Amino acid sequence: MRTLASCCTALLALTAFLTATVQAVSASPEDERLWKTLDITEDGWLSGTEFTQCHCDSFDTNHDHEVTRAEFMAGRARSQASNPATPRTAAPPSSGSLIDSNGHAFSVPQPGRSATSGGLPTGLYVCSQTSGFGADARLVTIGAVRVEANGVYRGMLAANGTGTAPNGTYLYEANTKRVFFQRGFDGAAGKWGVVTGATVEVNDPGGPWFKVEYQLEPRDYIRSFDCTRTRK
């Protein structure tokens, strides 16, 4: 009996140690900042648009299409453990640069001399992105961007164009089909990190559209969403 009690005590101590270790890893300032960015409603879990934005389907261990804070932190810890070459404490990027998912610095393209203020067809552009992987992949509407005259845009708005978002300005390079959104897309429909690039097609038979690439945090993967004009 004494041996059994000793084993139980040792097992409890080991469990407590492992739990504390996991909690210490998952509570890094980097993970905390990312969680606060993603949990827009501050209700302690990611659902709906928040779940779509986080691209963290693999963290949803009970497959209820929601990710709790505990699931998120545990998933982040697993991701870090499977990719030890990317340190959590990597040095911040130099001015004008970002850090990719491999820990390498890269610079956001800058507009050239041919870039002009304005030039995109005005109207409401509804935006969508792919959520999930493989057979579970689906296209989800995430919001809308309103492109106005004189190089001004507002977004991310709700999909029907309602809600609030600060005005931003953009520059358009017709020869490269690149567009440079100066403010990003934080607004009524969520927070979308740092824009790393955008391309546009103004003469598509299905209507003008643009694709935005963005990064939620340093050392994260480059993500994207597409916006197509639905009405002028």
Residue range 158-180: mean pLDDT, rounded: 91
Contacts of 164 (CB under 8 A, 6+ apart): 157, 187, 188
**Continuous segment of H or E residues that includes residue 224:** strand 223-231
Instruction: Give pLDDT tens digits for 187-217.
Output: 766 777 788 889 999 888 889 999 999 888 7
Cα angle 116-120-126, degrees, rounded to a multiple of 5: 140
Residue of 158, 123, 144 whose CA lies nearest to 227 = 144
Provide DSSP, 125-136: EEEEEEESSGGG
Whether 12 shows a pLDDT value over 90: the answer reads no
Tokens 């992105």 -> residue: 129
Residue type, 119: G
Q: CB–CB of 98/105 below 8 Å? A: yes
Q: CB–CB of 100/203 below 8 Å? A: no
**Continuous segment of H or E residues that includes residue 68:** strand 67-68
Under DSSP, is residue 203 helix (H, G, I), strand (E, B) or coil?
coil
Instruction: Give pLDDT tens digits for 20-64.
Output: 344 444 457 767 767 776 776 778 878 776 676 666 777 888 888
Under DSSP, is residue 175 helix (H, G, I), strand (E, B) or coil?
coil
